[in-house]
Amino acid sequence: MKLYDYASLSFASLKERKGRTIGAILGVMIAVIALSLALGIGQAFQNIFEERLERTFLANSIFVTGGKGFTDADLAYFGNIYGVRDVFGVAVRNVRIAQQKGEVTATLIAIDPRWIPQFIGVNSLQDFIEEGTSDIKGLGVIVGNDLWKDPDTGTKIRDVGEIVTVSVAGRSAREITFYIVGLGASTGGFRGMGANPDNSIFMDPDAFFTYITKRRVYNLAVVVVNNTEDVKYIIDEIRAVAPQGSRIFSPVAMIQQVSIFVTSLQTILALISSVGIGVTALWVFDSMTISVVQRTKEIGILKAIGYRSRDILLLFLLEAIFISLIGSIAGLTVSMIISNFVGIPIFGSMVLKADLTPTIVFLAVILPILTNVFAAFFPSRRAANLNPVEALRYE
């Protein structure tokens, strides 16, 4: 095949100029590593927000915290705001539990079971209850995954029907014994308002306000809206009626802000790495220009023995293609190794690893080729259009 022959001619000429060739390949490599990692990390961020946060932080919820807490009257105010579908209160206490391996802290969450999916971000209660029921009347509780399963070995340390004793600290310190009606499935940790469902005990609010505290005050009010587009307006309305010192937190707004941040970060990183590709292209342009001058006589010879202008154009462009291809494959290999072994820890438990999607791989290969072929085109065309007599006469 003719193309193969031209490729081997180009390759031979690249090999002859090892220094410059390796320099250019390294340039492409570094640019490709920077570009693919920048895009890959951006992609990984995006994945986390799309797959985890958006699902778990419930886009249609607005969380209101702080102040002295919320009474049923406060909740009723929130419920009257136009566009609000539901409002529920959640009361939370830190407790300690004696486990086999010693005492651990857990979160006692008082919540009507029908709101649990909305609160922790699962589709239905069935998705959350791994064993037993969600029927948490009285002192019946659902125990989070990490509390009934040994986090290290995965063996069952508590079961439905057993009792669990927790100690509540604070002003009204006491010990309370619950009985387990349900075991929670693993939710993957960190959720919503700082509570980790896997490390929580879910109990009936009525029982909570009987046995834990007498004051019917919720630490957290969750406002569920009909339409996420109304979130901004509803936040303003909540602010108007909420008690002094309340903090309003909306996943939608947060996700939007983080997305904007991530997208701009990705764009900036991609732009910076594109500068690398641009610099490499300049290098290729420069190196090709020198090469054409140095090889003027050779071009004259090739023309004299019957090489067409387009053959010579191809020979030179192939050099740029080789440099780009070798550089981007080597760069991608390094990127893949880096993305597999190096992670950026975020949110404590999560590790961000560059996600080299097929699109990114494609871009990292095609972009240097396109820019370098573009850069090489002008010197190559000059080579192709050289007058053979003058080229042969060139010293």
Partner 1 sequence: MSDKEFILIENVWKIYKMDTIVQEALKGVSFTVKKGEFVSIMGPSGSGKSTLLNIIGGLDKPSKGYVEVAGLRITEVSNDAELSRYRNEMIGFVFQLFYLIPRYTALQNVELPLIPRGVPPSKRREMALKALKIVGLEGKANSKPNQMSGGEQQRVAIARAIVGNPKVILADEPTGNLDSKSSEVIMEVFKKLNKELGVTIIMVTHNLELIWYCDRVIRLSDGKVIKIYNKEEYEELLETFIKR
Is the Cα dihedral 206, 209, 211, 212 positive or negative?
positive
- State the burial class of residue 320 (Cβ atoms within 10 Å of its Cβ: 0-12, 13-18, 19+): buried
Residue 146 binds partner 1, judged by CB under 8 A: no
Cα–Cα dist 384/382, whole Å = 5
Structure tokens at 105: 């802290």
* Minimum separation from the CB atom of position 305 to partner 1 (A): 4
- Calculate the alpha carbon distances from 368 to 56, 190, 211 in Å: 39, 41, 68
Cα–Cα dist 302/308, whole Å = 8
Query: Within positions 281 to 300, which residues make up the interface with partner 1, using CB under 8 A?
Result: 297-298, 300
Residue 12 binds partner 1, judged by CB under 8 A: yes
* Minimum separation from the CB atom of position 311 to partner 1 (A): 5
Residue 309 binds partner 1, judged by CB under 8 A: yes
The interaxial angle of helices 309-341 and 2-16, nearest 10 deg, is 70
Number of residues that bind partner 1 (CB under 8 A): 24
Cα–Cα dist 311/386, whole Å = 13
* Cβ closest to partner 1, residue 53 vs residue 391: 391
Cα–Cα dist 280/261, whole Å = 29
Query: From the list 2, 18, 171, 214, which residue makes contact with partner 1 (rule: CB under 8 A)?
Result: 2
Cα–Cα dist 371/375, whole Å = 6
Q: Which stretch binds partner 1 (CB under 8 A): 103-111, 129-137, 190-198, 301-309?
A: 301-309
* Cβ closest to partner 1, residue 2 vs residue 214: 2
Query: From the list 22, 253, 258, 301, which residue makes contact with partner 1 (rule: CB under 8 A)?
Result: 301
Residue 303 binds partner 1, judged by CB under 8 A: yes
* Minimum separation from the CB atom of position 301 to partner 1 (A): 5
* Minimum separation from the CB atom of position 288 to partner 1 (A): 17
Query: From the list 63, 115, 128, 307, which residue makes contact with partner 1 (rule: CB under 8 A)?
Result: 307
Residue 11 binds partner 1, judged by CB under 8 A: no
Q: Which stretch binds partner 1 (CB under 8 A): 3-11, 184-192, 273-281, 358-366?
A: 3-11
* Cβ closest to partner 1, residue 301 vs residue 338: 301
Query: From the list 13, 199, 280, 287, which residue makes contact with partner 1 (rule: CB under 8 A)?
Result: 13
DSSP structure string for 34-55: HHHHHHHHHHHHHHIIIIIIHH
| Residue bearing tokens 């306000």 | 209
Q: Which of 57, 59, 55, 47 is nearest to 252 (CA)?
A: 59
Interface ranges with partner 1 (CB under 8 A): 2, 5-6, 9, 12-13, 16, 297-298, 300-311, 388-389, 392
